[in-house]
Structure 1
Amino acid sequence: MNHTRFAALAAAALGGALLLANCGSDPAPATEDTAGGSGAQPTPSESCPSGTVNAEGSSAQKNAIEEAIAAYQAECPDVTINYNPTGSGAGIKQFNAAQVDFAGSDSALKTEADSGKSEAEAAKERCGGNEAWDIPMVVGPIAVAYNVAGVDGLVLDGPTTAKIFNGTIKTWNDQAIAKLNPGVTLPSDKIAVFYRSDESGTTENFMKYLQAASAGAWKTEPSKTWEGAGSGKTKSDGVAEGVKSTPNSITYVEWSYARDNKLAMAKVDTGSGTPVELTGESAGQAVAAAKPDGTGNDLRLSLDYATKADGAYPIVLVTYEVVCSKGLDASKTELVKGFLTSFASQKTQDSLQEIGYAPLPAEVRTKVDAAIKAIS
């Protein structure tokens, strides 16, 4: 990934993001030409800390966070941000074990315990008895990517997608697929399904869509571990490469990986009347309509995967940066806040569209700014 074009973000990106909303209020969004109300942008020597931050987790945000790191380190060269995209499950485990300073996860910390402590309880313990917050940072649309020669603009709906991924629909010329794609010549070949074999927030979010939109065709409860049909591949780049190299195959994968690998992507028939193409705008519409599901500065969101809103692409995930509200070493806290402030800035968020992500909607970004400012 070429990061050099982002070096020009410089002080404008960081300075604009530092106009943060007051916690607990509903202020206007930050502007890009003021800082602290003075109208003057801080110089790097005034605004930049120094040191190293280690983070781990979601591979869905890998490309986005790499771009954000490049932009921030161009402005603050004495800060090193290390991010290991091992998957959401691994990131949460490493954060709760105090091995990393923050974690990236494509689903918010779970408050229900499978056995022992819940993820949220373990995170609170790791943060010295202080709450851990889920801060939405990256909007990663999930593409249903496929490789079928001669088939462009494939249309799928929730029930049909669920039946493909649970193995009920086995061939491309199945009547259900043909009905959604009149006039398209579909092969009789067997469908090769690829899924994430590692624990993945992308898997969990895709299963949430299948459960919500399939009219009962998907029976399995969503989780980070895949429960459907197919062959497993490790991480996002694994399933993308699987489809790229395998004729008559299909997978679920983040938009950025589908774009990077030049994979065809299905349009989604949500029942709104017109199949919805995956774009930054259509994904952003789904996130803007999400309902708050946390309290205070814990900004977890409840997405409507079965939305029929006109023009809204329903298969989206939000990657959260999981942070200690308090309890992290003071020097690390300064570093984490500095980086996340830059990451959440409008300039950086807007730039992510170039690599297959949707920017945070303005109403969400204002709350994110306030939460980052409140970390102490």
Structure 2
Amino acid sequence: MNLKRSSALVGLVGVVAVASLTACGSDNNAASSASGSVTPASSASCAGKDKLSAAGSSAQKNAMDQFTAKYIEVCNSKGKSKNVAYTASGSGDGRTQFIAKQIDFAGSDSAIKGDQAAKAKQRCAGTDAWNLPMVFGPVAMAYNLPGVDNLVLNGETIAKIFDGSVKNWNDPAIAALNPGVKLPDQQIGVVYRSDSSGTTDNFQTYLTAASHGAWTKGAGSDFVGGVGNGSKGSAGVAQAVRTTPGSIAYVEESFAAQNKLQTASLDSGSGPVALSTEAAAKSVAAAKFANPASDDLTLDLKAMYSSNEPGAYPLVLASYDIVCSKGYDADTAEAVKSFLTSAANEGQQGLGALGYVPLPDTIKTKLMTSINAIAPAS
């Protein structure tokens, strides 16, 4: 898929500039909004305060730029001026700022849980913070290996690469997955996220589920493989792979596409599957909620990551918006509900062209129930 992005930042202004892809400089590069007109009958109320603030996931940034552009158009059509300022500072920082009440909501590629969830409850006037999955996107196994254009990997081999057990590109474990391919006798250069990252958490969760026991390091937002070189942010990782022959990294497909990186096909037991929106959508459709009866929509990703469904690309990241369930003042609650309503509807138009998977109906239905349940503190 081709990704078009711009270098415009979405700030606290009344308009969004949309430009063509220029250079890759940071995670704050903005995405172009989807083509086509906004649905005039949007169900977003455009109520509440005029400016929302958010921060967190860099993987979510391109989608958030589109959501904001669409929201501005919707509200302008209703005679209201609204905006959302989103800073792509990383999932860990987003959760920290949300807990500290520095932003209205956080973007995170990992659900808020444990001690952070308890602190978020204090921030939300004694009510729970909810994890609402707004964005899905495939994570690429991006590599730089001139002459090897159709690399195939599986969960077990990736685990061994990222824990240092497999060190060379012509290792028998890689060769077995790539018959007839001339693999170089070259050391593998592992690149990982140096900052606290939900992408890292999802990647290590995938390895735990898909490596048949080869990955024993656990998950979490910090890389625990113990090998390689770290780079900050998704853009930093992609740039490191682009400039380092023999390297490999996990990075969102949009950044891999932007940097024109090679991406491996994944074989979960039913044959190699190349990364594509359609193949990722097959995996997303199988996602389940950890607690189906709750308005907190944390996903149980085990089934998706361990699936061997033919044609499904399993390594898909779910990115949440973390919100207070009933802990905002009235103006903030109305604005958050309105923005997320727009994001879940017209905001999904054209996301495939940006490297994301639009929300399937099974998730969108639950999501709208949760959004409508957001209420001010009593």
Matches within 5 A, 1:76-225: 76-77=75-76, 78-111=81-114, 118-225=115-222
Distance 2:329 2:87 in 1: 21
1:72 and 2:99 equivalent?
Answer: no
* Residue in structure 1 matched with residue 238 of structure 2 by the alignment: 240
Percent sequence identity over aligned pairs: 49
**Shift of residue 331 of structure 1?**
1.1
**Shift of residue 75 of structure 1?**
2.8
**Shift of residue 17 of structure 1?**
4.9
* Residue in structure 2 matched with residue 40 of structure 1 by the alignment: none
Question: Deviations along 1:236-277, whole A, 9 cap, x unmatched?
Answer: 0010000011111100001111111111110001002x2111
Cα pair distance change 1:279/1:318, threshold 3 Å: same
What SS does the corresponding residue of 1:364 show, helix, strand or coil? helix
Query: How many pairs are equivalent?
Result: 340
* Residue in structure 2 matched with residue 31 of structure 1 by the alignment: none
**Shift of residue 74 of structure 1?**
2.7
Distance 2:84 2:300 in 1: 30
What SS does the corresponding residue of 1:360 show, helix, strand or coil? coil
Moved more, 178-187 or 231-240: 178-187
RMSD of aligned C-alpha atoms?
1.7
Answer whether contact 1:131 1:324 (CA < 8 A) is retained: yes
Answer whether contact 2:193 2:237 (CA < 8 A) is retained: yes
Distance 1:80 1:233 in 2: 31
Amino acid at match of 2:344: A
What SS does the corresponding residue of 2:39 show, helix, strand or coil? helix
Distance 1:315 1:7 in 2: 25
Aligned partner (choices 257, 260, 269) of residue 258 of structure 2: 260
Answer whether contact 2:127 2:326 (CA < 8 A) is retained: yes
Amino acid at match of 1:57: G
What SS does the corresponding residue of 1:134 show, helix, strand or coil? strand
Amino acid at match of 2:241: V
Cα pair distance change 1:331/1:366, threshold 3 Å: same
With structure 2 as the length reference, what TM-score do the two structures score?
0.86
Moved more, 278-287 or 228-237: 278-287
- Mind listing any 5+ residue stretches in structure 1 that lack a counterpart? 19-45, 112-117
Question: Deviations along 1:170-207, whole A, 9 cap, x unmatched?
Answer: 11111111111111111111111100000001001100
1:6 and 2:3 equivalent?
Answer: no
Amino acid at match of 1:67: Q
Distance 1:6 1:86 in 2: 21
With structure 1 as the length reference, what TM-score do the two structures score?
0.87
* Residue in structure 2 matched with residue 375 of structure 1 by the alignment: 374
Amino acid at match of 2:334: E
Moved over 2 A (4+): 1-11, 15-18, 46-50, 74-77
Distance 1:47 1:201 in 2: 30
* Residue in structure 2 matched with residue 275 of structure 1 by the alignment: 272
What SS does the corresponding residue of 2:33 show, helix, strand or coil? helix
Amino acid at match of 1:6: S
Answer whether contact 1:143 1:255 (CA < 8 A) is retained: yes
**Shift of residue 6 of structure 1?**
3.3
What SS does the corresponding residue of 1:76 show, helix, strand or coil? helix
Amino acid at match of 1:75: V
Answer whether contact 1:134 1:321 (CA < 8 A) is retained: yes
What SS does the corresponding residue of 1:6 show, helix, strand or coil? coil
Amino acid at match of 2:105: F
Question: Deviations along 1:318-364, whole A, 9 cap, x unmatched?
Answer: 1010001112121111211111111111x421311101011111110
Distance 1:162 1:358 in 2: 25
